[in-house]
């Protein structure tokens, strides 16, 4: 359990640093007296990219936290895959900063490049989750024995679905940056909905396992008496 605690502590530390770095994009404004409001409004792309990045990274942390809280062991391979997953997530901030700059420029060509870059990074993140899910699904010894393995099977293909969403966003960029932007936002929404579904199923499985354990304990007491 101590080893698993270090696993969570390291992962949570990476997520915490990433979220902290997001606010570093906010800098002191240079403005003429009486025009602060217009200077703030001109920074709307920075605020938008911050909100998107916070929601995205925050949802990924929720996934990571809840999913791995229901494992009981850590293997060397799991640690290595977790490093790969965290490596992919550390890229998230950069394409969103690029997207912010592209929105400020207002040029379609810049927006296309920014959205393609974001789509590629998001696909990479989802792909690392897919690899992780597949690995954990093949190694039952890592699971909590009280949680039915079918719960993990039900969610193991969710990352593949998000890969498809971001892939489609990249393709549509060449025809419409607006449709591509909508798909990127849809990807973040999909992550959150998938998280709620996963969390709900894991919670139900955990409650069922607890009731079964309590029932078994009660039966054992009856037998003793």
pLDDT score recorded for residue 127: 92
pLDDT score recorded for residue 2: 47
Number of domains in the chain: 1
Q: Is the residue at 28 inside a domain?
A: no
Q: Is the residue at 39 inside a domain?
A: no
The mean-pLDDT minimum among 34-38, 80-84, 127-131, 213-217 falls in 213-217
Q: Is the residue at 195 inside a domain?
A: yes
Q: Is the residue at 103 inside a domain?
A: yes
Q: Is the residue at 40 inside a domain?
A: no
pLDDT score recorded for residue 128: 92
- CB–CB of 121/88 below 8 Å? yes
Q: Is the residue at 35 inside a domain?
A: no
Q: What is the pLDDT of residues 152-180, one digit of tens each?
A: 666 778 888 888 999 999 999 899 888 88
pLDDT score recorded for residue 120: 93
Question: What range does the domain containing 130 cover?
Answer: 2-23+45-212
Q: Is the residue at 171 inside a domain?
A: yes
Q: Is the residue at 77 inside a domain?
A: yes
On the 0-12 / 13-18 / 19+ scale of CB atoms within 10 A, 120 is middle
pTM of the model: 0.79
Nearest CA among 87, 79, 211, 90 for reference residue 139: 79
Confidence label for 15 from pLDDT (cuts 50, 70 and 90): confident
């Amino acid at each position: 359990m101590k080893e698993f605690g270090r696993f969570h502590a390291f992962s949570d530390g990476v997520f915490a640093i990433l979220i902290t770095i997001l606010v570093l994009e906010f800098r002191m404004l240079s403005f003429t007296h009486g025009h602060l409001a217009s200077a703030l409004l001109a920074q709307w792309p920075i605020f938008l990219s911050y909100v998107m990045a916070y929601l995205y990274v925050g949802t990924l942390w929720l996934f990571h936290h809840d999913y791995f809280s229901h494992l009981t062991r850590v293997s060397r391979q799991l640690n290595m895959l977790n490093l790969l997953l965290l490596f992919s997530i550390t890229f998230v901030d950069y394409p969103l900063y690029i997207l912010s700059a592209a929105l400020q420029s207002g040029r379609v060509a810049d927006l296309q490049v920014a959205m393609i870059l974001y789509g590629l990074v998001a696909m990479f993140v989802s792909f690392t989750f897919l690899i992780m899910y597949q690995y954990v699904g093949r190694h039952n010894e890592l699971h909590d024995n009280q949680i039915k393995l079918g719960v993990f099977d039900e969610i193991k293909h969710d990352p593949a679905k998000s890969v498809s969403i971001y892939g489609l966003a990249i393709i549509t960029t060449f025809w419409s940056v607006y449709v591509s932007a909508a798909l990127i936002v849809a990807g973040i929404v999909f992550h959150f909905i998938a998280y709620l579904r996963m969390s709900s199923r894991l919670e139900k499985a955990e409650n069922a396992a607890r009731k079964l354990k309590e029932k078994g304990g009660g039966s054992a007491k009856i037998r003793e008496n």
